[in-house]
Amino acid sequence: MALFRRRRWPRAVAAVAVLAVVVAVAVALTRSPPKPAAVPEIVETAEPVPDPTPDSVALAAVLSASDATLRSYADKQVAADGVRVLSVPGPGAAWVGTSASDRVLVVIAGVGQSFAGIAAGTPVSFTGTVRLMDARSGFGKALGLGAADDAELERQRAYVEVTAFESA
């Protein structure tokens, strides 16, 4: 019981404290430093990076598509170069295509242009997006479509939305 003598307590406590400091320093020195956050590598090229292009579909595919296939083209871009206007049922809409069975309704989504004054047979060019007709009723009537044109739009449930067009 020599450890409990008064004279040896300070030495024992000091020895334990020194041992604890040595262990703490050894643990701190052997730890690996935290990994820095990954820094992306910057690569410079002489070529410009192309803009991503949205999905597109050929106008011929849109015109000849069945109703279900036409609806599957939703939100895809379509470009027309000199497609024939079949009829203009209202100032904001025109049927374009090759025949009464291969046609699609083109709707102007802006106020800058209208199909008023465009005669049937006039070739037009545009770039637009295939849109699904939403569930709201009266969309065709709001465009000025008659009963037969409105029924055709209701059957197809899709149209091409454009902001501008060019006529020849």
The encoded tokens of residue 158 equal 């899709």
Cα angle 66-126-159, degrees, rounded to a multiple of 5 = 35
The answer as to whether 44 is a domain residue is: no
The answer as to whether 45 is a domain residue is: no
The answer as to whether 118 is a domain residue is: yes
Instruction: State the total domains in the chain.
Output: 1
pLDDT computed for residue 7 by the predictor: 62
Q: Which residues of 148-166 are buried (b: 16+ CB within 10 A; e: fewer)?
A: ebbebbeebbbbbbbeebe
pTM tops 0.75, yes or no: no
* Whether 131 contacts 70, CB under 8 Å: no
Of 93, 106, 30, the closest CA to residue 63 belongs to 106
Question: Which CATH number is 112's domain given?
Answer: 2.40.50
Residue 122: give the domain boundaries: 59-167
Whether residue 108 is predicted with pLDDT greater than 90 in this model: the reply is yes
4-60 pLDDT per residue, tens: 555 666 777 788 888 888 888 888 788 777 666 666 676 676 676 666 566 889 999
The answer as to whether 94 is a domain residue is: yes
pLDDT computed for residue 24 by the predictor: 86
The two beta strands, 77-90 and 93-97, are: antiparallel
The answer as to whether 152 is a domain residue is: yes
121-168 pLDDT per residue, tens: 999 999 999 999 876 667 888 888 899 998 898 888 899 999 999 997
